[in-house]
Amino acid sequence: MVGSSDRADLRQLAGKFAHDVRNPLHTIRLNLHALRLAMQTGNPLPADELELLFAESEQEVDRIEQQIRALLDSASATTLRED
Amino acid sequence: MTTQTMILVVEDQPSEREALARMLRMAQYDVIATSSPDEALSHQEKPVELVISDLRLGDADGIDLLRRWKERRPETPFILVTAYGDVPTAVEAMKLGAADYMTKPVNPESLLQLIRKWLEKARANGHGDQESIGIPPGTSLEELERAAVERALEEHHGNRTHAAKTLGISVRTLQRKLKAWRMPMFAVAHPSSQQQPSMYVPRN
- Choose from A66-70, B184-188, B191-195 the range with maximum mean pLDDT: A66-70
Cis amide prior to B105 (ω within 30 degrees): yes
Residue among A18, A27, A37 minimizing CB distance to B27:
A37
Q: Is the pLDDT of residue A9 over 80?
A: yes
To test the contact with chain A by mutation, choose from B9, B101, B111, B201 the residue with the greatest count of A C-beta atoms within 10 A, namely B201
User: Could you give the CA distance from residue B20 to residue B8 in angstroms, rounded to a whole number?
Assistant: 11
Using alpha carbons, select from B77, B50, B186, B177 the residue that is nearest to residue B133.
Answer: B77
Q: Vertex B11, ends B75 and A57: CA angle to 5°?
A: 135
Q: Is the pLDDT of residue A31 over 50?
A: yes
Q: Which residues of B touch A19 (CB under 8 A)?
A: 83-84, 201
B33 against B171, higher pLDDT? B33
Q: Which residues of A touch B19 (CB under 8 A)?
A: 26-27, 30-31, 34, 53, 56
Confidence of residue B201 (pLDDT cuts 50, 70, 90): very low
Q: Is the pLDDT of residue A11 over 50?
A: yes
DSSP label at residue A25: H
* Yes or no, beta carbons of B22 and A49 under 8 Å apart: yes
| pLDDT confidence of residue B200 | 34
Distance from the A83 Cα atom to the nearest Cα atom in chain B, whole angstroms: 27
Confidence of residue A75 (pLDDT cuts 50, 70, 90): confident
Considering the entire predicted model, what is its pTM? 0.73
Question: Are A53 and B16 contacting, i.e. CB atoms less than 8 angstroms apart?
Answer: no
User: Could you give the CA distance from residue A77 to residue A57 in angstroms, rounded to a whole number?
Assistant: 30
| pLDDT confidence of residue A39 | 92
| pLDDT confidence of residue B84 | 78
Using left for φ > 0, alpha for ψ between -120 and 50, and beta otherwise, residue B138 falls in left
Average pLDDT score over chain A:
88
User: Could you give the CA distance from residue B32 to residue B34 in angstroms, rounded to a whole number?
Assistant: 6
- Report yes or no: B20 at the A interface, CB cutoff 8 Å: yes
| pLDDT confidence of residue B32 | 98
